[in-house]
Amino acid sequence: MAILSKEEAQAILKKVIGFSKADACEVSLNGSDGGNIRYARNAVSTAGQISVMSLAVNSTFGKKTGTATINEFDDASLQKVVKRSEELAMLAPENPEYMPLLGPQDFPESTTYNAKTAAMTPDTRADMVAKSLEVSKAAKLEAAGFLENSTRFNSVMNSKGLFAYNKSTNVSFSVTVRNQEGTGSGYIEQDFNDLDKMDTLALSKIAAKKANGSAGAKAIEPGKYTVILEPLAASDMLGNMFRGFDARSADEGRSFMSKKGGGTRLGEQLFSENINIYSDPFNPELPSSTWDRDGLPNKRTQWVEKGVVKNLSYSRYWAAQKGAQPLPFNRSIVLEGGNQSLEELIKGTEKGILVTRFWYIRSVDPQTLLLTGLTRDGTFYIENGEIKFPLKNFRFNESPVIMLNNVEALGKPVRTGSGMIPPMKIRDFTFTSLSDAV
Amino acid sequence: MTGVGLTATMVQGMPAFGRQITVEEALTPVDVQLKKKMADIALNAARSKGASYADVRIGRYLNQVVSTRETRVDNISNAESYGLGVRVIANGSWGFAATNNMDNDSIAKAAEIAVAIAKGNAKLLTEKVQLAPQKGFGEVSWKTPIEINALEVPIPEKVAMLLEVNKEAMKAGAKFVNSNLFMINEQKYFASTDGSYIDQDIHRIWPNFTVTKVDSAGGKFETRNALSAPMGMGFEYLRPKDEEKIKGGPVTMYKKRYDILEDVKEAVAHVEEKLKAKPIAPGKYDLVLDPSHLFLTIHESVGHPTELDRVLGYEANYAGTSFLTLDKWESKKFNFGSKQVNIIADKTQPGSLGAVGYDDEGVKCGKWDIIKDGILVNYQTIRDQAHILGLKESQGCCYADSWDSIQFQRMPNVSLAPSKEALSAADMVKNVEKGIYMFGRNSYSIDQQRYNFQFSAQLAYEIKEGKIVGMFKDAAYQANTQEFWNSCVKCCGQDDFRLGGTFSDGKGQPGQASAVSHGSATTRFNGVNVINTGRRIG
């Protein structure tokens, strides 16, 4: 029930729009269906399954908008929710930033859905976790992990004739493997649209190898080091920066994208020349919806070219204020790299530190995007192109903007939480203290 | 329909909601006898399918948010989430299921699913659930002692208040201002096969704002957030009272009443000062920490590492484990902090976010020591963990953020006891040769076992030879938890004791949010490492 086809969604949305008496009406209908399984101390702890669907109606009179939501879909309920949104609109203050609805748009079909992922059952999930537990038990290590899959549909229709629909699937897995003495810990996380790409056995082996390899860590003085960031670690640093490619906060003078003296850094060389960043909803490794929630099409967009800021995202309102074209931000970000593997990056490093992942990253200064956080689950010392010994974890204070000015080499991008991100070799990365945490 | 089996625990954000409803709908509670009837259907169905224990939570979670920016309203939301969750033990294993279809058949079906899940999970068990005994309380109720139900205050009044705040900020010279008001009402009914029928009505409120000034020529901006606290109170929190203010220091501070208009005007002056503040020289400083700042350090470095489920490894894949391992507690001599450090868990503290009569597994709430005279003496537990500590009953730390979330161990209010001496903030500052006086929460980060942390503040004043002489910028302190709490030299007295807190403490997978307060008086820590976080880009 929770996953409607394009035609089923369209039929409900049409009916709801038909009940509207407002000047403008926009209706969205979304649903998800999925499940999860959690384990700790080498045993399953919780497992769940959830299916939800909800409909939201935005009614507008003049510049006054009201929203109401409902999760019942009989005619009487649909009429009620429209009426309630209209009543709320009448009571609402005028929104000076209200933008008229968009008319019909042309959205190509996305590639975000995979039928095999959609067909996952509690048994599929249990089997995938059993493979992970096989690894930890055989190695006399302790695993704690989480596997989750979901199928979603999103659809929207408005009274000016816009209609958009997207269906997607996702399966995500993470596992922390620790040794019994609590002196070593390894971690891996991965998500895909396509179940066939997910190999919990192989992933758990990586985490187990790190758990063993990180035991007996040595302390070295904090300071500035050349680091190799695995894609997950690099992704942890960059996610926050990508969300800052926003014209409005930059124009308002309160973003790292603001220019001294006013305006934005659009067109400025903000990063090293080897930095190219784009988004593309049709990236085969990281597909996304072909429309955004404002009803605008998501298209391939170059954000940074040879270190120069080429685009900032504009909401429809801000674009109108600035005489710019509206441009949505899209999460299918690709930071282009090279063809080198992580191993090759290590091989080419005389002295450095390999970082598996970062943890508890928080913004320290939004003007410079300075972040603090810690290394976690496997940090290693590299000398003469080889991993020599595990290191105690560090706290860092570093800005991803500064980091992308200190890039020595980039490997092959892989899918992470923030986009397609390569492993990176960065000089002068700032570690400020040591942590005893394992 | 949610179906879940469990033995353990949980991460982030405001509780998930729900459907938008009218204000009038929000003010009509569900009849308590109807709730009892629904609960009995679930309990009887669970028992008849073979559950040796069952509890049912009928939850109606109301959430109202009003957000504004400068002269306009950003968002008004009034939402409800209503449903029922059944948790059972069958064949020694937990099972859970939930539904928002409140007809008799759906309720019985949810109970049946919970039993089936428990039986399925029993096959994977390594150890049967051991539940600490809990007597039934019969039909009882508890309500947050509020004076004004915030949901009864008309929305236009709230909008007018926030727009007035924005107007004052802009008049005082702010470039931007955002203001928000969050209100939560949890109407929770709990019943169990132990014979409890507990009806609770829990209220929370959080006013907040951010004021921004921009130095466009210098390419800089600064912000200051409200120094309010989220509270377990009604709208009366927003009715100022002079006796609930602490004046005389560099910042006006608020106890159980908050003056948002006064604070926003001070905030604009502070932002101006921040733009001109001098960069801090890194090094060792004595820190005087106001409760509006210290609460978060307590939360991260004391609250989380004393959660027993973290200690045991149930949170290893997300939030992490804990350095406060059981052997440290068993030794009875692990010096967590200096002798001044007395940390108390208290689920009954009036005005706090965590105050309830009973927890989400029917345990009457209380108060206990966690750190006594600097020594680790206890943790935070629920019914299926109590035996691990040799306790005869649970400490009542069980909470679920929704009817469809599984209840698990969550942090009670954890507070630093004030000094028995009547010391004031001026007494903390007066002998400091080189120090910083910090107010308000800002950046915070701590490792997965809670050893190494870094915090910064909304306001950092320089103390030189016992006097406040100006404002620092770019100051953050980094410390090791045990070293930090051992550097605690003195606290102010009860008169200075105030609560801080958070609405959205995250834990678990899938994530759940909970609200918790942390109290303290102004406290001094000697010789803490401070770094300069200023950088240049571009």
Q: What is the pLDDT of residues A100-141, one digit of tens each?
A: 999 999 999 999 999 999 999 988 999 999 999 999 999 999
Q: How confident is the model at residue A71 (pLDDT cuts 50, 70, 90)?
A: confident
A260 contact residues in B (CB cutoff 8 A): 216-219
A69, A87, A178: residue with CB nearest B316: A178
**Predicted local distance difference test score (pLDDT) of residue B358:** 98
Residues 32-51 of A with CB under 8 A from B: 36, 38, 40-51
User: 3-state secondary structure string, B346-391?
Assistant: ECCCCCCCCCCCECCCCCECCEEEEEECCEECCCECCCCCHHHHCC
Please tell me the CATH code under which domain B2-63+72-146+182-205 is placed: 3.30.2290.10
CA B55, CA A38: separation in Å to the nearest integer?
22
Q: What is the mean pLDDT of residues A296-324?
A: 97
A111 reaches B (C-beta below 8 A): no
A139 reaches B (C-beta below 8 A): no
A267 contact residues in B (CB cutoff 8 A): none
Residues A222 and A85 in one domain: no
A144 reaches B (C-beta below 8 A): yes
- A46: domain CATH number is 3.30.2290.10
- A96 or B26, which is more confident: A96
A256 reaches B (C-beta below 8 A): yes
A182 reaches B (C-beta below 8 A): yes
**Predicted local distance difference test score (pLDDT) of residue A362:** 96
**Predicted local distance difference test score (pLDDT) of residue A124:** 92
- B140 or A84, which is more confident: B140
- What is the sign of the dihedral through the CA atoms of A1, A170, A127 and B122? negative
Residue A299 lies in a domain: no
Instruction: Give A54 to chain B, closest Cα distance, Å.
Output: 8
Helices (H) and strands (E) in chain B, counts: 10, 27
A40, A368, A433: residue with CB nearest B317: A40
**Predicted local distance difference test score (pLDDT) of residue A240:** 85
Asked if the Cβ–Cβ distance from A436 to B321 is below 8 Å, we say: no
Residues A204 and A349 in one domain: no
User: CA distances (Å), B146 to each of A339, B155, B359, B415, B518, in order?
Assistant: 63, 19, 19, 22, 19
Q: Which two tokens stand for residue B288?
A: 């005087």
**Predicted local distance difference test score (pLDDT) of residue B18:** 64
- Residue A198's H or E segment, with its range, is none
Q: What is the pLDDT of residues A228-237, one digit of tens each?
A: 999 999 999 9
Residues A56 and A98 in one domain: yes
Within a 10 A sphere around the Cβ of B214, how many other Cβ atoms?
A: 21
Q: What is the pLDDT of residues B159-201, one digit of tens each?
A: 999 999 999 999 999 999 999 999 999 999 999 999 999 999 9
Burial of B106 (0-12, 13-18, 19+ CB in 10 A): middle
In the Cβ-directed half-sphere of B105, how many Cα atoms lie within 13 Å?
0
Burial of A5 (0-12, 13-18, 19+ CB in 10 A): exposed
B2, B19, B175: residue with CB nearest A70: B19
- Residues of chain B short of pLDDT 70, as ranges, are 1-18, 23
Within a 10 A sphere around the Cβ of A221, how many other Cβ atoms?
A: 8
Q: What is the mean pLDDT of residues A217-239?
A: 97
Asked if the Cβ–Cβ distance from A44 to B404 is below 8 Å, we say: no
Mutation target for A interface from B88, B325, B454, B528: give the one with most A CBs within 10 A. Answer: B454
Q: Which domain holds residue A11?
A: 6-211
A393 reaches B (C-beta below 8 A): yes
List strand residue ranges (DSSP E) for B193-330, in order. 196-215, 220-225, 245-246, 253-254, 278-279, 283-289
Quote the number of domains for chain A: 2
Asked if the Cβ–Cβ distance from B72 to A95 is below 8 Å, we say: yes
A50 contact residues in B (CB cutoff 8 A): 1-2, 404
Q: Which of B188, B111, B246, B317 is nearest to A176 (CA)?
A: B317
Residues A25 and A160 in one domain: yes
Asked if the Cβ–Cβ distance from B447 to A395 is below 8 Å, we say: yes
Mutation target for B interface from A55, A127, A372, A377: give the one with most B CBs within 10 A. Answer: A372
Mutation target for A interface from B63, B211, B280, B537: give the one with most A CBs within 10 A. Answer: B537
B212, B223, B535: residue with CB nearest A402: B535
Asked if the Cβ–Cβ distance from A362 to B446 is below 8 Å, we say: no
Report the percentage of chain A scoring pLDDT > 90.
89
B32 reaches A (C-beta below 8 A): no
What do you get for the CA distance between the two ends of chain A, in Å?
45
**Cα R_g (chain B), whole angstroms:** 24
Residue A270 backbone phi and psi in degrees, to 5: -100, -20
Residue B456 backbone phi and psi in degrees, to 5: -130, 170
Q: Report the residue of chain A nearest B123, measured CA to CA.
A: A44
Q: Report the residue of chain A nearest B154, measured CA to CA.
A: A91
Mutation target for A interface from B1, B323, B452, B456: give the one with most A CBs within 10 A. Answer: B452
**Cα R_g (chain A), whole angstroms:** 24
* Contacts across the A-B interface (CB distance below 8 Å): 216
Give the 3-state secondary structure of residue B434: strand
Asked if the Cβ–Cβ distance from B314 to A144 is below 8 Å, we say: yes
A261 contact residues in B (CB cutoff 8 A): 216-217, 219
B6, B452, B535: residue with CB nearest A368: B535
B71, B72, B220: residue with CB nearest A367: B220
Q: What is the mean pLDDT of residues A195-204?
A: 98
Residues 267-326 of A with CB under 8 A from B: 268, 270
A211, A229, A247: which is the final residue of a domain?
A211
Give the 3-state secondary structure of residue A94: coil
Burial of A7 (0-12, 13-18, 19+ CB in 10 A): exposed
**Predicted local distance difference test score (pLDDT) of residue B17:** 56
Residue A384 lies in a domain: yes
Residues A163 and A226 in one domain: no
Average pLDDT, chain A: 95
User: How high is the ipTM of this complex?
Assistant: 0.94
Residues A174 and A226 in one domain: no
Q: What is the mean pLDDT of residues A281-308?
A: 95
DSSP, residue by residue, A98-161: --PPP-----PPPS---HHHHT--HHHHHHHHHHHHHHHHHTTEEEEEEEEEEEEEEEEEETTS
CA B373, CA B339: separation in Å to the nearest integer?
4
Q: Report the residue of chain A nearest B96, measured CA to CA.
A: A48
- Angle among Cα B235, B237, B242 to the nearest 5 degrees reads 135
CA B300, CA A292: separation in Å to the nearest integer?
37
Residue A49 lies in a domain: yes
Asked if the Cβ–Cβ distance from B216 to A262 is below 8 Å, we say: yes
Within a 10 A sphere around the Cβ of A98, how many other Cβ atoms?
A: 15
Instruction: Give B419 to chain A, closest Cα distance, Å.
Output: 31
Residues 52-81 of A with CB under 8 A from B: 54, 56, 67-71
